[in-house]
């Protein structure tokens, strides 16, 4: 008899095989207690968290924690509804105004998550007469946003402006109704979009451009606004989306635009209209984190010092890494999925937690171990990561 769950049988068999081989489910790790921005208790022991995307280490910042506590005390634990139905809290509007000012844009919208931000913008901004041209390595939220809408969707080769131009040429007059979508820093390998060349293509053919700065907000640019700021092309970018769940140490998402018409689009976005708004504590801590990011570059400098130390140390050991130094450092492995899972577990046993990423989610189809660095990591913790990877290298050679 047909069963709704039959389609998942192969997935369960794969998962069960990984658990049987390593003795742990790598996709259901339970963090028993969070100790700090960089440490937690897993399986009863303290581990260094090297896969959290907590780039500036602000999850335990005293100012952010105090702001969240005040908001809970004064406004309660949640909004219990959407902004369209229940009304916007003053803090929601204040954060939108602060984001608009931070990005020097006339319009900003705050969403409950970064995922919802991409769903809302991509499904609503473009219609059946429009085209979305997206980098093939874009995040799942971007793909899902395009599926929710009705625009024609065309992929171009990752970080390949020439392939983008070829596809824009084929569109002819439709290029003026095309939204090009790229990311500032790509989440798997830590590489950056060739944004100056993409802006040139966008201007040449009259298209629009959206840059997802989820992993580059707080990381790149003199003020921390992301890749567009770092490359001095902000005035040429039409829309920027991002998340609060990385550098800002919270939960939520946003879109800012140099087009004031974005404000009108707010009233047509189903993922915005029908989703409960962010709780007061999340908004409060995000506002404080944005203030901290804006007033000092010290955390950003420490983040890059840490990223450089780990990247260069792993490269010296002979690991195949992403193409450039980044707070996202991917170790690409020649091992099988089962071997990679066992090696990931070996790192965990050494007290280092990283992200295990398996095909088909990986670029190029190779398993990889993904590290994400934080400004809160100490030099001693970076050295501990390198020591664990050195031991890991011996295990990897034994598997070869």
The catalytic site residues sit at: 187, 215, 246
**Helices (DSSP H) in the chain: which residue ranges?**
9-22, 62-75, 83-86, 90-102, 114-125, 140-148, 161-171, 195-205, 227-230, 262-265, 270-273, 280-295, 298-316, 337-349, 379-399
Q: Is 399 strand, coil or helix?
A: helix
249 with 54: CB under 8 angstroms? yes
Cα separation of 398 and 349, whole Å?
A: 17
In DSSP terms, which residues pair with 253 in a beta bridge? 111, 243
* HEC-encoded secondary structure of 101-134: HHCCCCEEEEECCHHHHHHHHHHHHCCCCCEEEE
Quick one: tokens of 287? 């506002």
Cα separation of 181 and 145, whole Å?
A: 11
Task: Give the chain's largest Cα–Cα span.
Answer: 63
Cα separation of 247 and 59, whole Å?
A: 9
| Radius of gyration of the chain from its Cα atoms, rounded to whole angstroms | 22
59: Cβ contacts below 8 Å, ≥ 6 apart:
37, 249
Q: Is 240 strand, coil or helix?
A: strand
Cα separation of 271 and 268, whole Å?
A: 9
49 with 38: CB under 8 angstroms? yes
């Amino acid at each position: 008899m047909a069963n709704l769950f039959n389609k998942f049988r192969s997935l369960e068999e794969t998962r069960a095989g990984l658990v049987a081989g390593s003795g742990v489910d790598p996709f259901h790790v339970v963090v028993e207690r969070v100790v700090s921005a960089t440490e937690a208790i897993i399986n009863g022991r303290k581990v260094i968290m090297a896969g959290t995307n907590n780039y500036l280490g602000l999850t335990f910042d005293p100012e952010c924690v105090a702001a969240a506590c005040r908001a809970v005390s004064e406004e309660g634990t949640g909004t219990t509804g959407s902004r369209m139905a229940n009304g916007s809290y003053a803090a929601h509007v204040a954060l939108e105004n602060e984001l608009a000012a931070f990005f020097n844009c006339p319009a900003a919208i705050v969403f409950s998550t970064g995922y919802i931000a991409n769903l809302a913008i991509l499904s609503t901004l473009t219609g059946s007469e429009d085209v979305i041209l997206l980098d093939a390595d874009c995040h799942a939220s971007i793909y899902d946003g395009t599926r929710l809408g009705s625009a024609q969707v065309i992929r171009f080769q990752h970080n390949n402006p020439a392939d983008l131009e070829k596809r824009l040429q084929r569109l002819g007059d439709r290029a003026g109704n095309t939204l090009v979508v790229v990311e500032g820093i790509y989440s798997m390998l830590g590489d950056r979009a060739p944004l100056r060349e993409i802006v040139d293509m966008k201007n040449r053919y009259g298209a629009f451009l959206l840059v997802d700065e989820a992993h580059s907000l707080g990381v790149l640019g003199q003020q921390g606004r992301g890749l567009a700021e770092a490359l001095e092309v902000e005035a040429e970018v039409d829309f920027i989306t991002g998340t609060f769940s990385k550098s800002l140490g919270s939960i939520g998402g946003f879109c800012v635009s140099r087009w004031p018409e974005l404000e009108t689009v707010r009233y047509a976005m189903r993922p915005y209209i029908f989703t409960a708004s962010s709780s007061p504590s999340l908004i409060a801590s995000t506002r404080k984190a944005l203030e901290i990011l804006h007033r000092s570059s010290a955390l950003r400098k420490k983040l890059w010092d840490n990223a450089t130390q780990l990247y260069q140390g792993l490269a010296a050991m002979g690991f195949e890494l992403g193409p450039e130094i980044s707070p996202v450092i991917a170790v690409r492995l020649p091992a099988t999925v089962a071997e990679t899972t066992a090696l990931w577990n070996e790192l965990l046993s050494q007290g280092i937690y990283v992200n295990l990423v398996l095909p088909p989610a990986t670029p190029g189809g190779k398993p990889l171990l993904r590290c994400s660095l934080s400004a809160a990591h100490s030099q001693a913790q970076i050295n501990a990561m390198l020591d664990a990877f050195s031991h890991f290298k011996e295990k990897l050679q034994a598997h070869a």
